[in-house]
């Protein structure tokens, strides 16, 4: 922690650090410490209700309750009990290109770890061979005149190794491993985002169909009433204004219906893209709110475990770990560098004598380099590494705060959404009963046309709001599962199974380079 807390570190402090490091052979720079979870026992400002309000008889109106401390199933979307939804998510997990890209990024970062281990921990060994024809005057070596032109053949095995006295190599490998962790949790985040998006878009598709159905029903009633009103105009019992007003209502409902059709098309296109297909070729199932099951038991993780469950928080923590390691690398670069080199080979004037007893040559050496002046480059790099670590620390804090905010929002959304559905369901029922009575009175001549017009509009709004409230219950439930991390830690198998899409000419070459 000395280096992290003392950005004024200079070369004048190298001597005691050097002595301590040589004795302990430890890695310089700060050792990473996992950040503590926020010390809180609740996600929301007030208490969370255990059981949510119900609206019997309508989709999304069944009982729901929170189960504190319960674990989250890996395939949480199966709680909706929709085979069509399960099949759609399975296809998305196999074909979504964003998920595939995240998986490829993970594999690349894992190979970078292997490259760092090979380059930092092991000696570099190379085999060389050469042949040349040269002209050099023999007189410059004090030799009698002879042939100045000759051939030279040589072979050698060269070895070089950098001693990791101060742990710079270990910190570099530590940073590479942490960056691989970042990629791993970014893949888990892409997995969680994909599954949640498929669920919410499927719910939206079902809601739009229900709203279309409701609007079509209302439009049919409005059209029938418009025809009745036109007949009454002929016999003089209503005015022209009554007819045009009703026709206006019919036209407005037709506009609403077209908007629902457009949004439905957009949603189905989005679902097609999520499963990795073009909209024209995708075979997307039709969803129905009445066929979706609302999960009754909602797991509610304890707040202290949220930072271990959320992929975005884990990725931010891994990024913090990587930047911490890079501070150690930058610190080690300020200290002496120890190198060992060696070579063994042969040289001869003819190829036949190349491996003869008098052609052998070898060398071994060691070196130490203490940087003294490089224009402030190394110190600036270390200060930059410290600033990057500080940035990662703030980003981690922001990610944790956002995670708790999303859970708190999801909990309040579920509570108010349940209450809203109950109210919207009651409003729809009362509006329908009122409209039915007023329409009967109007046909008998005991109610005015304006009353019919008013209650038609009231029922239309109540019906659409009720359907929207039903869909909200399903989507808010999915939002809670996603906000709590989605249960990826309970999944068996990888997040994505990559397919071989590389060109055959790009096959890996053999060897251990």
Long-range contacts of 299-302 (CB under 8 A, 24+ apart): 299/66, 299/67, 299/70, 299/71, 299/72, 299/484, 300/48, 300/66, 300/67, 300/68, 300/69, 300/70, 300/411, 300/484, 301/69, 301/70, 301/72, 301/484, 301/485, 302/68, 302/69
Six-digit token pair at 427? Answer: 């409003």
Q: Please name every residue paired with 345 in a beta bridge, in sequence order, or none if there are none.
A: 156, 361
CA gap 111, 114 in Å, rounded: 5
Structural domains for the chain: 26-123+164-337+379-490 (1.20.1600.10)
Beta strands in 46-189 (DSSP E): 65-68, 124-135, 149-163
Whole-number CA gyration radius for the chain: 37
Beta-strand (E) ranges in 92-251? 124-135, 149-163
Residue 78: per-residue pLDDT: 96
Kindly give, in sequence order, each residue whose CB lies less than 8 Å from that of residue 405, ignoring residues fewer than 6 positions away.
none
3-class SS at 371? coil
Contact by Cβ (8 Å): 310, 485: yes
Question: Do residues 195 and 188 make contact, with C-beta atoms less than 8 angstroms apart?
Answer: no
**pLDDT of the residue at 20:** 41
Strand partners, 364: 342
The rounded distance, in Å, linking the Cα atoms of 254 and 381 is 65
Residues 333 and 383: beta-carbon distance below 8 Å: no
User: What is the number of other CB atoms lying within 10 angstroms of the CB of residue 237?
Assistant: 12
Q: Return contacts of 398-404, CB within 8 angstroms, 24+ apart.
A: 399/310, 399/312, 399/313, 399/316, 400/35, 400/38, 400/307, 400/313, 400/316, 402/312, 403/306, 403/307, 403/310, 403/312, 403/313, 403/483, 404/38, 404/40, 404/43, 404/303, 404/306
What does the block give as tokens for 102?
A: 């995240």
Structure tokens at 381: 């790099």
**In the numeric block, which tokens belong to residue 497?**
């199974």
Please say whether the beta carbons of 87 and 484 come within 8 A: no
DSSP 8-state class, residue 374: S
SS in 3 state form for 270-297?
A: HHHHHCCCCCCCCCCCCCCHHHCCCCCE
Q: Would you call 418 exposed, middle or buried from its count of C-beta atoms within 10 A (0-12, 13-18, 19+)?
A: buried
pLDDT tens, the chain, 513 aa long: 333 334 344 433 444 444 444 434 578 888 999 999 999 999 999 898 999 999 998 999 999 999 999 999 999 999 999 999 999 999 999 999 999 999 999 999 999 999 999 999 999 999 988 888 887 776 666 666 656 787 888 899 999 999 999 999 999 999 999 999 999 999 999 999 999 999 999 999 999 999 999 889 888 888 888 888 888 888 887 788 888 888 998 999 999 999 999 999 999 999 999 999 999 998 899 999 999 999 999 999 999 999 999 999 999 999 999 999 999 999 999 999 999 999 998 888 888 888 888 888 889 998 998 988 888 999 999 999 999 999 999 999 999 999 999 999 999 999 999 999 999 999 999 999 999 999 899 888 888 877 887 888 888 889 989 999 999 999 999 999 999 999 999 999 889 986 665 444 555 544 555
CA–CA distance, 403 with 350 (Å, rounded to integer):
73
Total Cβ atoms within 10 A of residue 307: 22
**Measured torsion, CA atoms of residues 288, 484, 486, 412, in degrees rounded to the nearest 10:** 0
Those residues with Cβ within 8 angstroms of residue 511's Cβ, 6 or more apart along the chain or in another chain: none
Question: What is the per-residue pLDDT for 145?
Answer: 61
* Degrees, nearest 5: CA angle 160-166-167: 80
How many Å separate Cα 164 from the centre of its chain?
A: 36
Residue 254, judged by CB atoms within 10 A of its CB (0-12, 13-18, 19+), counts as middle
Extract the tokens encoding 96. Answer: 């979504």
């Amino acid at each position: 922690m000395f280096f992290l807390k003392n950005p004024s570190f200079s070369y004048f402090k190298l001597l005691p650090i050097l002595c301590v490091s040589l004795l302990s052979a430890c890695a310089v720079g700060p050792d990473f410490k996992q950040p503590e979870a926020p010390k809180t026992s609740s996600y929301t400002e007030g208490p969370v209700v255990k059981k949510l309000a119900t609206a019997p008889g309508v989709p999304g109106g069944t009982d729901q309750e929170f189960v504190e401390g319960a674990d989250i199933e890996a395939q949480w979307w199966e709680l909706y009990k929709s085979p069509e939804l399960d099949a759609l998510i399975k296809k998305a997990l196999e074909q979504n290109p964003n998920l595939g890209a995240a998986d490829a990024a993970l594999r690349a970062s894992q190979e970078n770890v292997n490259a760092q281990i090979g380059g930092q921990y092991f000696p570099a060994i190379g085999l060389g061979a050469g042949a040349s024809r040269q002209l050099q005057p023999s007189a410059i070596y004090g030799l009698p005149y002879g042939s100045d032109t000759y051939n030279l053949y040589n072979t050698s095995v060269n070895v070089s190794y950098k001693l990791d006295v101060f742990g710079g190599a270990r910190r570099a490998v530590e940073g590479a491993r942490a960056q691989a962790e970042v990629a791993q949790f970014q893949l888990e985040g892409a997995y969680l985002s994909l599954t949640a998006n498929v669920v919410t878009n499927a719910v939206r598709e079902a809601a739009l169909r229900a709203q279309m159905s409701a609007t079509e029903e209302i439009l049919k009633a409005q059209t029938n009433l418009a025809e009745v009103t036109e007949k009454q105009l002929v016999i003089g019992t209503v005015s022209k204004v009554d007819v045009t007003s009703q026709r206006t209502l019919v036209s407005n409902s037709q506009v609403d219906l077209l908007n629902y059709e457009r949004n439905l098309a957009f949603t189905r296109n989005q679902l097609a893209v999520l499963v990795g297909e073009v909209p024209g070729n995708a075979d997307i199932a039709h969803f129905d709110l009445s066929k979706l099951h609302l999960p009754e038991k909602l797991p509610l993780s304890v707040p202290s475990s949220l930072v271990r469950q959320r992929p975005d928080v884990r990725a931010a923590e891994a990024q913090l770990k990587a930047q911490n390691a890079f501070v150690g690398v930058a610190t080690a670069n300020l200290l002496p560098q120890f190198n060992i080199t060696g070579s063994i080979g042969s040289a001869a004037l003819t190829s036949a004598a190349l491996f003869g007893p008098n052609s052998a040559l070898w060398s071994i050496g060691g070196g130490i380099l203490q940087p003294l002046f490089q224009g402030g480059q190394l110190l600036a790099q270390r200060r930059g590494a410290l600033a990057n670590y500080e940035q990662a620390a703030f980003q981690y804090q922001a990610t944790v705060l956002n995670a708790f905010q999303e859970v708190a929002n999801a909990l309040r959304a579920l509570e108010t959404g349940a209450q809203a559905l109950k109210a919207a369901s009651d409003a729809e029922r009362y509006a329908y009963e009122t409209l039915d009575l007023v329409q009967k009175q109007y046909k008998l001549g005991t109610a005015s046309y304006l009353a019919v017009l008013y209650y038609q509009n009231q029922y239309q709004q109540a019906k659409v709001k009720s359907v929207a409230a039903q869909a909200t219950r399903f989507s808010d439930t999915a939002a809670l599962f996603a906000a709590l991390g989605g249960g990826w830690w309970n999944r068996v198998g990888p997040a994505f199974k990559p397919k071989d899409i590389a060109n055959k000419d790009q096959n890996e070459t053999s060897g251990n380079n």
